[in-house]
Structure 1
Amino acid sequence: MKLKNHSVIILLILSVWVGCISPPDDFPTVPDIRFNDMEFVQAPGADSLIVTINFRDAEGDLGLNARDLSPPFNELNYLTDEQGNYITYSNRPEDAPSFNNRDWVIFPLINNVEIQDTLWVSENEDYYNIFVKFFIKRGGSYTEFNWSDPPYFTTFNGRFPRMLEEERTRAIEGQIRYSMLSLGWNSIFRTDTIRLELQVQDRALNRSNVVSSPDFTLSQIAR
């Protein structure tokens, strides 16, 4: 899934602070998060929209490393026909989408074998462990700005690394600083009032509560 589409280039950068403590009674099995801060940093290249959240988790099973690609953490699902064959672009059914970087993959590597074709895929949400939604406020109502729609065909969902390398259970708390880089922030949102919603997910696939940022414009949170 490519993250470069039209005038938007996305890069996700994470910094994580973790504190490990003796498990208190009120630390949840399902991750608990709280909104902390938002900032917009402009640079000669891509600009950064940075959100910081606080988290607590009783087991410490937060985070995915680069090698965590086996199910249920695989990035893509390859769609098949009734006979179990992969659906290629040249033999796509009438209801298949036209070519785009979200729904089709060229020469994918499956079980360490490169498939010399273009295959129809669907995104596996469990590949990610942090989820971000954007909303624009107009006339007092919020409308979701869906990055997966044309012309962008992308996502700001991402991964943060494992908090603890060892597998033993340990309560943790800390902060995740999630930086989203793009050339298109100002051209897309301009003076719009925006709100973000965020969730995280642990390796047991427990989704946290949803937290919302305050309403903001890019100029209001510029640093």
Structure 2
Amino acid sequence: MNCKNALVSAGVGLLGMVACVTPPTNFPSVPEIEFNSLEFVETPGQDSLIVSVDFRDAEGDLGLNATEIQPPFQELTFRRDQGGNLITFRNRPANAPPFNPIDWRINPIVNNQEVRDTIWVEPNPNHNNIFVRFFIKRNGVFQEFRWEDPPFFTSFNGRFPRILAGNNTQAVEGTIAYAMVSSGWNNIFRNDTIRVEVRIQDRQLNSSAWVSSPEVTLQGIRRR
């Protein structure tokens, strides 16, 4: 068995991956994942919530390198008016959202040139290949905790790197450990009961099913 290890920076978090290349044994073309673990790690300044999933895939077309930013993996789509012009905050239509760091970008690079203005954008979900949803228990019922909403305007979706080099295809299985870094886990969730859901996506844009962690508290999953 030929195993590979990778540790890369992934925006809001770090991502560790162990992938083992194996002969095809009826692995699925659409990636399959199973929940493995959820762990809370406290460090000075920043803490990490680490979710791990086990995966299987027939082609091994999992992962995106940092340089893969061309369609369909670009980070943003720049909104334009009927004349094909970029929509600025100053000339925004009535249906445009208020300023926030998700829907607007200041001085973005468009077609390899910096645009000195605030431009209306639409984040491209296919820029990422690992997706995480959070749920918090209130009055005995889980409700989604949306990081994209005010006041946070963020996301813990991200990327993991290519498992196989180049365009090689081969059945793979292994474990992805995705660390979401924040200084606010304790402040936000305190003693709340939470759970997370995770899915991954291959380069053909095939998505796995969502898998869920059990319900936990930060204290209950703290690394000792």
TM-score between both structures, scaled by the size of structure 2 = 0.93
CA contact under 8 A between 2:12 and 2:158: conserved in structure 1? no
Matches within 5 A, 1:9-88: 11-25=12-26, 27-88=27-88
One-letter amino acid of the structure 1 residue matched with residue 14 of structure 2: I
SS of 2:220 mapped into structure 1: coil
Q: Within 5 A, what are the aligned runs for 1:169-188?
A: 169-188=169-188
Counterpart in 2 of 1:129? 129
Note the alpha carbon deviations across 1:43-80, whole angstroms, 9 max, x for none: 11111100111000000000000110010000001111
Q: Is the Cα contact below 8 Å between 2:199 and 2:211 reproduced in 1?
A: yes
Q: Which runs of 4+ in 1 moved over 4 A?
A: none
What is the identity, as a one-letter code, of the residue corresponding to 2:109? L
What displacement does 1:11 show? 2.6
Task: Give secondary structure in 2 for the equivalent of 1:19.
Answer: strand
- Give 5+ residue unaligned stretches, structure 2: 1-10
For 1:186 and 1:78, how far apart are their aligned partners in 2?
Answer: 36
What stretches of structure 1 of length at least 5 have no aligned partner?
1-9
Mapped to 1, the partners of 2:168 and 2:46 lie a distance apart of: 39
- Alignment deviations for residues 172-209 of structure 1 (CA, whole Å, 9 cap, x no partner): 00000100010110111111100100000000000001
Q: Which residue of 2 aligns with 1:167?
A: 167
Size of the aligned set, in residue pairs, is 213
Paired amino acid for 1:12: G
Q: CA shift at 1:166, angstroms? A: 2.7
Equivalence map 1:90-169=2 (5 Å) = 90-169=90-169
Q: Which residue of 1 aligns with 2:7?
A: none
Q: Secondary structure at the match of 1:186?
A: helix
Aligned AA for 1:116?
R
Q: Distance in 1 between matches of 2:109 and 2:56?
A: 37
The amino acid of 1:151's aligned partner reads P
Secondary structure (helix, strand or coil) at the match of 2:219 reads coil
Helix, strand or coil: the match of 1:126?
helix
CA-based RMSD: 0.9
Q: Secondary structure at the match of 1:208?
A: coil
